[in-house]
Structure 1
């Protein structure tokens, strides 16, 4: 019975994530088509705060699958092996996530997008909960 509930929850989370992803792609395409005004350096600024910025403190408190997330960040060349080791050796999950924010996520939206995808894959219930709270 518990397993059935978990499977149902997983399908709901997947459905929400796909819907959110589709909505983000549509919004992005609309901005591009409308010729949204960019900053002086040519980069467009979104009016909406990125998910990982908006939920930074909740993520610091609640993310548990640090090793899997670090593995993906290293695989995708977001962090180098030295940074991976530094973060991994840090005691406590909260401090590890703080270091991810400090050492990796400052690199911009593309890195934040990769981190968000990692969270959706390895912390789907947490992401779904935070999305519902928006």
Structure 2
């Protein structure tokens, strides 16, 4: 009888041990399930972030395409204006208050210095010294050289010198005689001291 009781006790202990093992395994399974659920949530969140970034990229690409189209339209209109200076709107002269901004493809620019345009020759000086950038941008916008979007692009650059550099690299300025002449005429009003100093340097170099 005593031997049988011992066997029963052993079996009971074994059962209890197995129960503990089963509970531990269940707890481990529960933890693993939670980890899996958490991982799935993280993956879903990352997927949503990726989708949002893709949508943002698509929107940015559309904006870039629109800006390129606007640049092309502006350049075409500038080229057309250079080819047909006689059709130039006289309101431009009125807004300027003087014929500072007049230029044409058939007549030489008064801002040419030894075969090089003033803007190109003094590019680095302009980048370093032009202060009234916003005023210059507003004038260029008024005279149709810059669109609203291009003006905002220039303003978004970090720092005054970066804005001037970005402006000078725009096709409407860099590849357009009219654009350069307009810029010089504007600078004669907004940065008169600097312009006079640079012109004196050119005279001294002759």
Give me the TM-score of the superposition, normalised by structure 2.
0.42
Q: Equivalent residue for 1:59? A: 126
Corresponding residue number in structure 1 for 2:164: 97
CA–CA distance in 1 between the matches of 2:197 and 2:114?
23
Shift of 1:91: 1.7
Q: Greater relative contact order (Cα 8 A, min sep 6): structure 1 or 2?
A: 1
Superposed, 1:25-36 pairs within 5 Å as none
Question: CA offset at residue 126 of structure 1?
Answer: 0.3
Report whether the alignment pairs 1:70 with 2:131.
Answer: no
Matched, 1:113 2:181: yes
Over the residues paired in the alignment, what is the CA RMSD in angstroms?
A: 2.1
Gaps of 5+ in 2: 1-99, 101-106
Of the candidates 178, 198, 203, which is equivalent to residue 130 of structure 1? 198
Give the deviation of 1:60 after TM superposition: 0.4
Q: Which runs of 4+ in 1 moved over 2 A?
A: none
Q: Distance in 2 between matches of 1:78 and 1:118?
A: 12
TM-score normalised per structure 1: 0.64
